[in-house]
Amino acid sequence: MIIRWICDRCNKKWIYPVEKCVYCKGEITKQKGSKLKVVGITKVSIQSPMHPIIPYNIILLQDEFGNRMPKKTMKDYKLGDNYIQEKAKTEDAVSIAKVKYDVYEAIKETLGLLKFELSPNDKVLVKPSIIAAAYPYQAVNTDPEFFDALLKVLFELGVKKEDVVVAEQALIGSDVNDAAAKAGILEVCKKNGVNFFDISKGPFEEIESEGFSFKIFKEALNRKVINAPIMKTNFQLGFSGALENLARFADEKTQREMYYVGFDKIIAKLAKVIPNVFTIADATKAMQGQGPLASGEPAFLNLVLAGKNFAAVDAIFCEVTLLEIPPYIDAYGKCLDSKHIEVVGNEVDALKYSILPAVPHDTPHPDIKVIDGKSCPACLNLLYNLTSKLIGLRGEELNLIIGSMLTEDMLKGKERLVALGGCAIKKLQSMKFEPMAEIEENIDQFEQLVLLKKLLITQGRPKITPIDKVKSKMTKLLSKVIR
């Protein structure tokens, strides 16, 4: 499809979605050309970072209105050929659209190529990714513009506003309402007249799946779930997107257990108990580098991906961005080989573009490294919050140990080891390993920060003193007064 914005009065035409004509101030109408013909072809043999695979073809397409656009393809076309976007033939197909200044049209395009239907009687739960308070430009949470367009598309497909709820919970330790407000999602919900629910408040239903017991947000079991994650690199998991987003349908205890037992295995079991999920993923502004929190940076990909098989959506995104497909996605079992997933809308090879992967042992602080024993989101969040607050304060390198999946090999040769959180502390005790210090997750955050600061800048084995505790109380009181 080729889109142009045209002035109703004077017929001036734009590739940009302008609101009014700059000449006659007339209203603007969207012109959508769908009968596309190939009117030009070039085979390109020069590589660039955005286009690493050569040679590739660029075809010049022209629609029934005479509008043109270039399109990159690995296929060979002839002048005069019709350009037709094939619809998906398989259940597990993934559809990819490029956003051409109009994210709403891109979402519609992805859905139009798949078997996706909603009826006026459907009750829908839309689940964005909102894990922490961050501005939209930081690409930590699902983008509000994408989310607004998604709701618009759902309403147009016939779902009643009163039958749509938006639900999410932030990483354990963060407040989802604060996060959703900063992310701009609450405003979108308000604008569209839909309710926003904090999943952590429940109610939950206990469900057993393949020997594991989950407490799952009840609404997710009774409604059609539209899974709307933002696609991000993740220093702990490698990548987090569609499948990982479903983990936050579980209550806090289940989430902690999932990581304790092994996220790789359990997430697949959890995903199987949510009966009706369809993913429409936000890769308009994805995240690269040290995700999933604000240490990552935006990757301006301008893509929307959709599919019924969320693991397939994740796998294809990894394929496009040249990230390794994490084991937890493979463990879901429905997309063992991404080469065999049907992709419609755009060709994977024509999209391939390398984004920065996450580095497993880095934290926001240059002198604090992490040894991750697959910690749960609570400790992950704590790690990020503590280390980012000490940026600017240099010290001797510290190794923070989080999570419980620890082995002696992981600790071998490492010095100045500090256990952070109950899981790591317990595990190290069971291994009869004494770290330099322990930071409990349930003590006051000010005290945690003071202790970590002391550990960073001193040589001995500092502890929290009674004076620190008084200071902590005073700081808390002061912040309450200020609020």
Identity of the residue, 36 or 183, whose beta carbon is nearer to another protein in the bound complex: 36
Smallest distance from another protein to CB 228, Å: 22
Binding mask 13-52 for another protein (x = CB under 8 A): --x-----------------------xxxxxxxxxxxxx-
Run of H or E residues at 439? strand 437-439
In the complex, what is the shortest distance from the CB of residue 81 to another protein, in angstroms, rounded to a whole number?
Answer: 15
Residue 96 tokens read as 């990819």
Residue 272 is a binding residue for another protein (CB under 8 A):
no
Q: How far is the CB of 63 from another protein (least distance, A)?
A: 12
Contact string (CB under 8 A) for another protein, positions 417-436, x = contact: --------------------
| Tokens found for residue 65 | 């209105």
Burial class from Cβ neighbours inside 10 Å (0-12, 13-18, 19+) for residue 325 reads: buried
CB of 314 to another protein, least distance (A): 22
Identify which of residues 44 and 477 has a Cβ nearer to another protein in the complex: 44
Report DSSP state, residue 262: -
Taking the least distance from each CB to another protein, the nearer of 250 and 350 is 350
Say if residue 120 is preceded by a cis peptide, omega within 30 of 0: no
Cβ proximity to another protein, 10 vs 431, nearer residue: 10
Which of 5, 28, 56, 146 touches another protein (CB under 8 A)?
56
Show contacts with another protein in window 331-370 (CB under 8 A).
none
For β-strands 230-234 and 238-240, DSSP reports them as antiparallel
On the CB side of 351, CA atoms within 13 Å amount to 25
Phi/psi at 467 (nearest 5 deg)? -65, -40
Which candidate, 45, 37, 104, places its Cα nearest to that of 71?
37
Give me the least distance between CB of 375 and another protein, in Å please: 37
Q: In whole angstroms, how close is the CB of 42 to another protein at the nearest point?
A: 4
- Scan for tokens 């992310």, then name that residue: 183
Distance CA 390, CA 470 (A): 21
Q: Which of residues 96-135 bind another protein (CB under 8 A)?
A: 98-101
Measured CA to CA in angstroms, residue 195 lies from 185, 200, 210 at distances of 11, 15, 33
User: Given the structure tokens 């997430």, which residue do they identify?
Assistant: 267
- Which residue in 12, 17, 60, 440 binds another protein (CB under 8 A)? 60
Gyration radius of the chain over CA positions: 25
| Min dist. Cβ of residue 142 to another protein (A) | 21
User: Which of 281, 171, 183 has the alpha carbon at shortest distance from 232?
Assistant: 281
Q: Which of residues 69-98 bind another protein (CB under 8 A)?
A: 69-72, 98
Which structure tokens are listed for 465?
């003193």
Specify whether the CB–CB gap between 237 and 247 falls below 8 A: no
Q: Which is nearer to another protein, 110 or 141 (CB)?
A: 110
Instruction: Select the span of 67-75, 267-275, 290-298, 411-419 touching another protein (CB under 8 A).
Output: 67-75
Give the nearest distance from C-beta 13 to another protein in angstroms.
8
Region near another protein per CB under 8 A, out of 66-74, 197-205, 386-394, 422-430:
66-74
Could you tell me the smallest distance in angstroms from the CB atom of residue 482 to another protein?
A: 39
Contact 288, 234 (CB under 8 A): no
Nearer residue to another protein within complex by CB, 149 or 386: 149
* Closer residue to another protein in complex, CB, 55/366: 55
Q: Should residue 68 be labelled a site residue for another protein when binding is judged by CB under 8 A?
A: yes
Residue with tokens 């009968």: 35
Q: Which is nearer to another protein, 61 or 379 (CB)?
A: 61
| Identity of the residue, 69 or 221, whose beta carbon is nearer to another protein in the bound complex | 69
Output DSSP code: residue 200.
G
Distance CA 452, CA 88 (A): 53
* Number of residues near another protein (by CB under 8 A): 28
Q: What is the amino acid identity at position 131?
A: I
Compare residues 123 and 352 and give the one whose CB is closer to another protein. Answer: 352
β-bridge mates for residue 372, sequence order: 402
Q: How far is the CB of 10 from another protein (least distance, A)?
A: 15
Structure tokens at 70: 């270039």
Residue 38 Cβ vs another protein, minimum distance, rounded to whole Å: 11
Closest CB to another protein among 48 and 121?
48
Q: Compute how many other C-beta atoms are within 10 angstroms of the C-beta atom of residue 389.
A: 16
Residues of this chain that interact with another protein (CB under 8 A) are 15, 39-51, 56, 58, 60, 67-72, 98-101, 302
